Structure 1
Amino acid sequence: MDQLLAMRVFCAIVEAQGFSAAAERLDSTHSSVSRQLKNLEAALGVQLLNRTTRRFSLTAAGQRYYEACIDILARVEAATQAMAHEHQRVAGTLRVSVPLAIGTLELDDWLPAFQTRYPDIRLDLSCSDEMVDLVADGFDLALRISQPLGDSSLVARTLVESDIVLVASPVYLARHGLPATPHALAQHELIAFSGSQTATEWVIEPARGEAVHLPLEGRLMTDAITAAYSATLAGVGIAAFTWNTVRPALARGHLVHVLPGCTLGKRFYYALYPHTRHVAPKVRAFVDYMSEHYRAR
């Protein structure tokens, strides 16, 4: 049995939601696709799909195997493309949708080195926290900061996970003092970012002990992460950002990490792009670069 072929067939069945649709996608036949799945299940010794006459669903083992297959096939594809395009120039216009945090607040931390490495890529950045339809809106890929993503018709590559931390400016802390406990935050001005799941309350997780639920009742709420960041630098109050966003400002002393033993959970940085047999070199280059950039931090 061709293991990689069987993996591709299995993934096609799952993604196409059926044997006939998978066969059409693979330019094969229903019987061939069914036989590949049967042989794969026999070789693994587990049932991957629950099948009835009208529908099917993944078993728990099938879900785990599908996720593993996606990762393995992506690596095989990446290795193949790396060899195929080893001497090919990476060039062209790359249209990318990025959230405001990456496209503005983090820009100086990643863009100069990217342009130095890939001088023949013309980067067309659309900076917005709104979700976009990659295909309909003409994007090559999108970067997103979110909680773990569910099922998607897109390839979702995790670039990095980042703690959400509390920060304030030295000016603000000089006036109001540094809170020593999560409960002490109730006596401070808190800046709420209404574009996140933490718009109405912060759930503060200390290294030890129970989480503290803190209602956000400060005098400033904004739906723009850039406005929240500027207000924090200006000394308006304490705000929550991913560590990746505020790391440079912390290093320069423009912001101070508040309650360093606590977090407000995590967010995941994703690169999203359509499923395709051949990922364009410019897309692969950008995704690989951003993954390298974040993991080095």
Structure 2
Amino acid sequence: VTVDTAALTAMGGVPETVRIGRLDEATGWIVVLPTTVDGNTVRAQTRLTSTFLVLALEQGSVADWVLPTGRMFTQAAGANAALRAGYPVEDVAGGPSFWAAFQQQGGVATLGYPVSQVFVRGGVVVQVLQKGVLQQWASGGGPVNLLNLLDLLSRAGFDAVLDQTYHIPVPRSTAEDTGLTWSELVARHLAIFEEDVPGLAAIRTRYEQTAASAGQDPIQRWGLPLSVKDYGPFVTLRTQRAAFQYWKVALPELGPEYVPGFVAIVNAGDIAKAVGYWPEESLFPVLIPQGAQRPEPGAVRSTVTTTAPPVAAATFLAPTPTPTA
């Protein structure tokens, strides 16, 4: 796309704030594509056809914004965060109530920030968070739970890289589960907590308490324990849906909470993103809509079930005539 530089300057645009946006006609959101600017030529790539716009985005410093049906978070949007782009977590009329589930299951403190849009994968509606993945059947039936993410990464062949690069142990064989009743199978997996490995008692407490605070059984919340490994500075327990690390040493560069005895929930959603498991287009942030409000400190939002099409908080410089971006 060629943009008139005089028009760009007149509208307050500079190369650092120019992006190509793609209108997602299903949701009304404008998806911000990875964009390069060379003089007055603006480039982006996408496999999808749609209406495309060249945007001069508004700079801002607010990290998250209140929406009528949830909240928009910019914390995991990288450089686009400063340009008012991020990921909404919402309750969608006729669709999944991800915002209600996100709050009920511990919010940012337990699940981290969103790192994707909502999309459908294998007949399931999902949204990737840093520490897990919210899911509901595309049919709209059933509750919102966490996806068995680590099981899926195992089936996709990522066990070695999870172990060697991200310090999540390879799952043990489940052959001995064959023929067991459900209660026997559960007892067999929970027996991992009785092994002579440092920190397992503390990990079990975090595993159980985070589930209890959400009104869930820990197996319903996190899945069955699958393996444990001592990596030296920390011990990692792997479950079907998440991983927990018990720290034996202090590592203040990661945060003041990283002291001996601290149990962290691993950023498994981010790891799946890093290894290329998610479709690329689903990871692009969207524009914060006009009318979004800054959250009041300490405010508690009630769930709203109505929605209105968002309007992009951006200046539209020029539409692209064909989907060639």
Report the TM range for the smaller structure's normalisation.
Answer: under 0.3
Higher alpha-carbon Rg:
1
Q: Calculate the TM-score normalised by the size of structure 1.
A: 0.25
Q: TM-score scaled by structure 2?
A: 0.24
Query: Which has the larger helix fraction?
Result: 1
Question: Structure with the greater relative contact order (CA < 8 A, sep ≥ 6): 1 or 2?
Answer: 2
